[in-house]
Amino acid sequence: MTDWRTNLPAVKGRYQENALLSEQTWFRVGGPAELLFRPQTAEDLVLFLRDKPGNVPVTLLGAGSNILVRDNGISGVVVRLGRGFAGIKIEGNKVIIGAAALDRTVALTLADAGLSGLEFLVGIPGTLGGAVKMNAGCYGQEIKDVLVWAEVMDHQGRVTRLSQTDLGFTYRHSTLEADQIVIAACFELDCGAPAEIHQRLTQLLATREQSQPVKGRTGGSTFKNPLPQKAWELIDQAGCRGLQIGDAQVSEKHCNFLLNLGNAMAKDLEELGEQVRRRVQAICGVELEWEVIRLGR
């Protein structure tokens, strides 16, 4: 059978066969993508999606800060949006942000411009597209509070604009389907003094550093909080703080974070997470739901 990768549309962006996804994710684990595609522009992405071979599966990757790629990698094409998708355009108190813009860059740029409402992004190590998909948030604020619309491309290259309501946001969740790629989103913000906004950013970063292993190889919060309870408290109660399988560890500092201490495999991290879920179920009677998205084979 012919390899589908021999029949790819001519694009301006870059194709990479058997690209190691451990280099693209915060956990630093995971097998290869059959093909990694980095489109240069929206037109490039449309061209690729329209003319790609047959039914080859397409998976979106942001900064890889909320995913666990399994050890045998991902079949089909993994798309990672590049610099051409990272623009930040300010019009009065509205801002249109490209999906590949890094959350931290967004927060700093808006602080410089005296716009307030997305400060919480400063400590989230993802992209804006990932933040919309996940309704990212912290310290009582989330994406849905300030989003006006998002532009979304389907796997045939068709673009639609979805309102805040269309996106069906709930806690760490949107109703975006796997075949909907966020290209850009618009937010309505409040005006404020840049110096005060920058001060809030500094405080947010300091608070986070105190309580989370921010420099570790991690995927952030592993499980959603089963509101009104907190996942970390249940994990602690179930005696899982510091629990380890190989180089996969439940963080001592924040026990809703899993860590790759160096040479963990994805299967170690996933098995450790499942062990935590079983213990919390047995001891606290609560079923934890994964927040980290597990992808691949």
Ligand X SMILES: Cc1cc2nc3c(=O)[nH]c(=O)nc-3n(C[C@H](O)[C@H](O)[C@H](O)COP(=O)(O)OP(=O)(O)OC[C@H]3O[C@@H](n4cnc5c(N)ncnc54)[C@H](O)[C@@H]3O)c2cc1C
**Any idea which residues carry the catalytic annotation?**
172, 221, 291
Does 99 sit near ligand X (CB under 6 A)? yes
Instruction: Output the smallest distance, CB 240 to ligand X, in A.
Output: 19
To ligand X, the closest distance from the beta carbon of 6 in angstroms equals 26
Distance between CA atoms of 136 and 154, rounded to whole angstroms?
22
DSSP string spanning 202-221?
HHHHHHHHHHS-TTSSEEEE
In this structure, the dihedral spanned by the alpha carbons of residues 239, 252, 118 and 29, taken in order and rounded to 10 degrees, is: -100
Residue 125 preceded by cis peptide, ω within 30: no
Tokens of 157: 């290259």
Rule CB under 6 A: say whether 65 interacts with ligand X. yes
Q: Looking at 13, 84, 125, 296, which residue binds ligand X (CB under 6 A)?
A: 125
**Per-residue mark of binding to ligand X, 179-218 (x: CB under 6 A):** --xx-------------------------------x---x
77 part of the interface to ligand X, by CB under 6 A: no
Query: Which CB sits closer to ligand X, 90 or 214?
Result: 214
Under 8 Å CB-to-CB from 125, ≥6 apart: which residues? 26, 63, 65, 102, 103, 104, 220
Tell whether residue 129 is a contact of ligand X (CB under 6 A). yes
Quick one: which of 67, 69, 95, 238 contacts ligand X (CB under 6 A)? 67
Is-contact 136 103, C-beta < 8 A?
yes
CB atoms near residue 209 (< 10 Å): 12
Comparison of 20 and 283: residue with beta carbon closer to ligand X: 20
Query: Binding residues for ligand X, per CB under 6 A?
Result: 26, 60-67, 81, 99, 124-127, 129-131, 133-134, 136-138, 172, 181-182, 214, 218-220, 293
